[in-house]
Structure formats: C-alpha cells, structure tokens
Amino acid sequence: MTTSPLSTQLVDETPWRQFVRDFMQSRIAVCGLALLLMVLLLALFAPWIAPQNPYDLSKLDLMDSKLAPGSKSMMGSIFLLGTDGMGRDMLSAILYGLRVSLLVGVVSGVIALAIGASLGVSAAFFGGRYEQILMRIVDIQLGFPAILVALILIAVLGSGVEKVIIALITVQWAYYARTARSAALVERNKEYMEAARGLGLPTWRVLLKHLIPNTLPPLIVVGTVQVAHAIALEATLSFLGLGLPITEPSLGLLISNGYEFMLSGKYWISVYPGVALLLTIVAINLVGDQLRDVLNPRLAR
C-alpha cells in the first residue's frame, strides 16, 4: 500500500499498525471480530470440541430423538441444545454444519475474487473491445437477482457441493470484476504505474506486482460482504433442498430438517442452527462495515 511520505514522517507507525489502530476504534466492530474469530475457531476445531460425531450413524440412538435442550441421553450425557429427529446432538450438528457453511462460503468467495479481480483489472489495463464486452456481461448479470442465477445453474448442473460452489462463484465474480475494474482505473493513471512502465518492466510484472496489490483494499471490503452473502445464499439453497447433500449437512439443511418439527413446538431443531447462521453473518458484516470505513481513502483520518 502506498502511504504518502509526509504521513510516515509525522507518525512513526507502519501502515499495518495504523490499520489495526483504526480498526479498533469501533467497539462494535471489535465485538464482531471477536465473534467471528470464535466462530472460525469453533468450526475449525469442531471434531475435537463436538461431544458427538454427527456423521457416525452408529452413535445415534432413535430413543434420543427430539429431546429438548438440556435433557439427558440414554447414555447419561447431556444434550445442551437438544437433539433432532434422528437423535443427533444439535450442538455437534451445528459445529459440523458451521464448518461446511464456512468452507463453501470462503472457498467460493476466494475463487470468485481471483477470477473477478483478474478479469476486472485486465479489463481496466487493456481496455478497448475486451473491456466493453466484459463489462457489458457484468452489467447484465448484476441485473438479475443472485437467487435466480443460482437457481438456473443448479437446475442445469444438479446439486452437490462442487455444483453449489460453482453456482456461488458464478453469482459473485461479477461484483469483484466491477470493483476491481473501477479500482484499477483509478490506479492505472497514478505515477507509480507510469514509473513501473517507464522502467520497461514486463506487462505481467506491472500487473501482478504493482497494479493488483493496490486494488486489493476495496476488493477485501467487497470480499467480506460477499462471503456473508455466499453463506446466506448457500443456506437458502440448502434450505430449499437444492444445495448440499444430506451427508454433509450445512446450517441451511439443519434448519430445513428442523422445519417439519417446528409446527409441533419443537423449536430447537431449527432455531439453534439459525442462530449460529445469524451470528456468523452478522459478525462478518460488522467486520466488513468497519473495514470499509478504515480502508476508504476518502475517510482517511
């Protein structure tokens, strides 16, 4: 990142430290970050934390099914968040589901970022016909709601983890491409780019080492918001039964499974996975909001 020489003289701080300090200024954003870290750790270490392996069908006992939160199992252990229709411990199912949801959201987000950013930056860099056609495609795609695009793809491809990821990438890449292009258009005409070109560096080096790193801040902001969107969209697709297979239940599928029991008052099967989904999305959005403020050069403090 380029900081102007003046500010580095006045404030004896690295850009990173400055960034951290700026970020910490909002208490609610710090709460969001703490929550997000907690969610990530829980998801990462789910196999060690979870009281039960929810995929291991031999461990399940139908006698334990639909127990209210806090009740005791046949084996004497306590189900903190109750059990579902198959006698699965909800807490364990949620921890594993969180893993699946986050994985799908992050993987699709990162791939979409890579594709969208390279297309967007190259569009700004090369311009001409290529830029026009690409941006027209972006415009057209962004005119359609994400759920419709995802539905078309799922209807065509069928469901499954990799298909959901493909659908999510297709839905998201256009946002990144648009953001990357507008950021690159600004950066393209700056002096350091002229200097890099003047030095006679090869085009790929100018692109990779100079242009792309400087378009990253806005992309990171869009990225956090998009990951939250991707997680919500995956949950929606899974809820509709079009997303992930039952063998790898994400939070959306858990909510969907609990739906049939909700009308008979067994709320916990559906509500707790929903709360987990909600906390994750809200935490990501809080962090994203603060990142937008901190990384926005117009609001530079």
Q: Which residues bind another protein (CB under 8 A)?
A: 132, 135-136, 140, 143-145, 147-148, 151-158, 228, 232, 235-236, 239-242, 252, 255, 259, 262-263, 265, 267, 270-271, 274, 277-278, 281-282, 285
Query: Which stretches of the chain are assigned E, i.e. beta strand?
Result: 71-72, 78-79
DSSP per position, 22-35: HHHT-HHHHHHHHH
Q: Name the minimum Å distance from CB 283 to another protein.
A: 10
Which residue, 180 or 207, is less far from another protein as judged by CB? 180
Tokens of 116: 């969208």
Please report how close the Cβ of residue 148 comes to another protein at its closest, in angstroms.
4
Q: Report the nearest approach of another protein to the CB of residue 56 (Å).
A: 28
Task: Mark 22-38 as b/e (b = at least 16 C-beta within 10 Å).
Answer: bbeebeebeebbebbee
| Cβ closest to another protein, residue 117 vs residue 281 | 281
> Element (H or E) spanning 182, and its range?
helix 161-188
C-beta of 71 vs 132, nearer to another protein? 132
Residues shown for the chain: 301
CA pair distance 41, 73, nearest whole angstrom: 27
Instruction: Select 82 or 252, whichever has its Cβ closest to another protein.
Output: 252
Closest distance to another protein from the beta carbon of 151 (Å): 7
What residue type is 65 in one-letter code?
S
> CB-wise, 178 or 207, nearer to another protein?
178
Nearer to another protein, 213 or 241 (CB): 241
Q: Cα(33)–Cα(27) distance, rounded to whole angstroms?
A: 10
Residue 274 CB, nearest approach to another protein (Å):
5
Round to whole Å and give the CA distance between 223 and 287.
Answer: 11
Alpha helices in 45-160 (DSSP H): 46-49, 90-126, 128-142, 146-157
Q: Which is nearer to another protein, 118 or 236 (CB)?
A: 236
Cβ 136 to another protein shortest distance, Å? 8
| Beta pairing class for 71-72 and 78-79 | antiparallel
Q: At its nearest, how many Å lie between another protein and the CB of residue 146?
A: 9
